[in-house]
């Protein structure tokens, strides 16, 4: 069948990797804050704000790198808000995250509306690596990917090294599992939690910027269409591990792209059902993970979602 010919396979993989990039960045952001014990359900909202910041800045300045910087700032502003609510004010983390997402959905469409459908002025370019073209199959795939793909891979590897191979990462993992113990060992728990939530949120903002500057050509309300929530699921699926996150994100990128591809070849399947694919797979995958890890540790930081109150540590 034509769908499985070499070229198509390559295109499919390239499309999956492109679709995976925003998911991967958002998932990494989620991993960071959840490793510090803070559930981030505001990912969807942070992506939207990152996207709208990048969109507006790219219209005003024609500079994609400035747009990226502002998306990082926008995301981290929401991250600071989430951290303030969850850590300082000790609110319920789930409700706080939902609040962030609702607020950001409204704010982003309020801000984006004033630019009424105009295109972002810049796109992030592809990174051409000509010598890779000489390697037959995989070389051709990796020779013309977008800059953001490489940046997201790079961030994932940096996070892996940071979390698992450094003293700092040891502190981070310790405090996700037992903040009281980490505190007694001299780790400043609140500072770590603030920092991780804000950096994580900045990554979510970057994910939003990727979406608008690489993936979707123009702004529309609810641009992320649930990708932030899929990222929340990917955090669980990847077992809070940055390298796993790369593969999980690409797998979900594949599901997303398959929908489009199947539609090209089988026009009689209504597109609505194909669009359900990523959401359905998310549920199925989570069910599978839950079933497999029944009565076993699933890699979740033990104190995830529990507010650490220093005055009440055991």
Gap between the Cα atoms of 194 and 169, Å rounded: 15
Q: What tokens appear for 103 in the block?
A: 């607020």
Q: How far is the CB of 53 from another protein (least distance, A)?
A: 13
Gap between the Cα atoms of 59 and 53, Å rounded: 10
Q: Residue 122, interface with another protein (CB under 8 A)?
A: no
Q: How far is the CB of 143 from another protein (least distance, A)?
A: 35
Contact in structure between 118 and 59 (CB atoms under 8 Å):
yes
- From 7, 186, 294, 314, residue interacting with another protein (rule: CB under 8 A): 294
SS3 187: coil
Q: How far is the CB of 228 from another protein (least distance, A)?
A: 10
List, in order, residues 6 or more apart from 247 with CB less than 8 Å away.
238
Binding range to another protein, per CB under 8 A, among 26-34, 119-127, 174-182, 284-292: 284-292
Q: 131 vs 272, which CB is nearer to another protein? A: 272
Q: 87 vs 159, which CB is nearer to another protein? A: 87
Binding range to another protein, per CB under 8 A, among 63-71, 132-140, 254-262, 277-285: 277-285
Q: How far is the CB of 224 from another protein (least distance, A)?
A: 11
Gap between the Cα atoms of 208 and 202, Å rounded: 10
> Residue 93's closest CA among 34, 47, 31?
34
> Residue 50's closest CA among 77, 24, 28?
77
Cα 19-234-164 angle, rounded to 5 deg: 110
Number of residues that bind another protein (CB under 8 A): 49
Gap between the Cα atoms of 90 and 309, Å rounded: 8
What are the backbone angles phi and psi of residue 295, rounded to the nearest 5°?
Answer: 60, 25
Q: Residue 63, interface with another protein (CB under 8 A)?
A: no
- From 77, 80, 98, 180, residue interacting with another protein (rule: CB under 8 A): 98
Q: 123 vs 225, which CB is nearer to another protein? A: 225
> Residue 88's closest CA among 311, 307, 302?
307
Contact in structure between 86 and 99 (CB atoms under 8 Å):
no
Binding range to another protein, per CB under 8 A, among 29-37, 92-100, 203-211, 246-254: 92-100
Contact in structure between 234 and 248 (CB atoms under 8 Å):
yes
Binding range to another protein, per CB under 8 A, among 15-23, 157-165, 202-210, 219-227: 219-227
Q: Residue 49, interface with another protein (CB under 8 A)?
A: no
- From 100, 148, 196, 248, residue interacting with another protein (rule: CB under 8 A): 100
Q: Residue 104, interface with another protein (CB under 8 A)?
A: yes
Q: Residue 109, interface with another protein (CB under 8 A)?
A: yes
Q: Residue 142, interface with another protein (CB under 8 A)?
A: no
Per CB under 8 A, contacts with another protein among 1-30 are none
Gap between the Cα atoms of 210 and 40, Å rounded: 20
SS (H, E, C) 239-270: CCCHHHHHHHHHHHHHHHHHHHHHHHHCCCCC
Q: Residue 258, interface with another protein (CB under 8 A)?
A: no
Binding range to another protein, per CB under 8 A, among 9-17, 190-198, 223-231, 250-258: 223-231
Tokens 């977008």, residue located:
146
Q: Which residues bind another protein (CB under 8 A)?
A: 41, 81, 84-85, 89-92, 94-96, 98-107, 109-111, 113-114, 221, 225-226, 229-230, 232-233, 236, 270, 272-273, 275-276, 279-280, 282-283, 286-287, 290-291, 293-294
């Amino acid at each position: 069948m034509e769908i499985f010919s070499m070229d198509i396979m390559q295109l499919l993989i390239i499309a999956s990797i492109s679709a995976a990039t925003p998911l991967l960045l958002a998932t990494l952001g989620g991993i960071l804050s959840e490793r510090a014990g803070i559930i981030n359900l505001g990912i969807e909202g942070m992506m939207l704000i990152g996207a709208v910041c990048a969109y507006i800045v790219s219209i005003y300045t024609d500079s994609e790198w400035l747009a990226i910087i502002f998306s990082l700032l926008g995301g981290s502003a929401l991250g600071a808000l989430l951290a303030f609510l969850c850590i300082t004010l000790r609110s319920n983390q789930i409700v706080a995250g939902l609040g962030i997402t609702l607020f950001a959905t409204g704010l982003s469409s309020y801000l984006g509306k004033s630019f009424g459908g105009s295109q972002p002025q810049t796109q992030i370019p592809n990174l051409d690596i000509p010598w890779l073209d000489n390697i037959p199959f995989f070389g051709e795939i990796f020779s013309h990917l977008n800059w953001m793909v490489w940046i997201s891979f790079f961030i994932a590897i940096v996070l892996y090294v940071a979390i698992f191979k450094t003293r700092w990462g040891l502190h981070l993992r310790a405090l996700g599992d037992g903040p009281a113990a980490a505190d007694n060992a001299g780790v400043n728990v609140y500072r770590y939690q603030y920092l991780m939530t804000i950096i994580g949120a900045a990554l979510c903002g970057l994910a939003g910027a990727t979406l608008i500057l690489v993936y979707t050509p123009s702004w529309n309300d609810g641009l992320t269409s649930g990708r932030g929530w899929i990222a929340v699921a990917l955090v669980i699926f990847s077992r809070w591990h940055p390298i796993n996150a790369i593969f999980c994100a690409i797998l979900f990128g594949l599901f997303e792209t398959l929908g489009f591809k199947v539609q090209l070849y089988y026009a009689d399947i209504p597109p609505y059902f194909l669009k359900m694919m990523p959401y359905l797979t998310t549920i199925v995958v989570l069910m599978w993970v839950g079933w497999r890890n029944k009565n076993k540790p699933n890699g979740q930081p033990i104190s995830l979602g529990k507010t650490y109150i220093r005055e009440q540590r055991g």
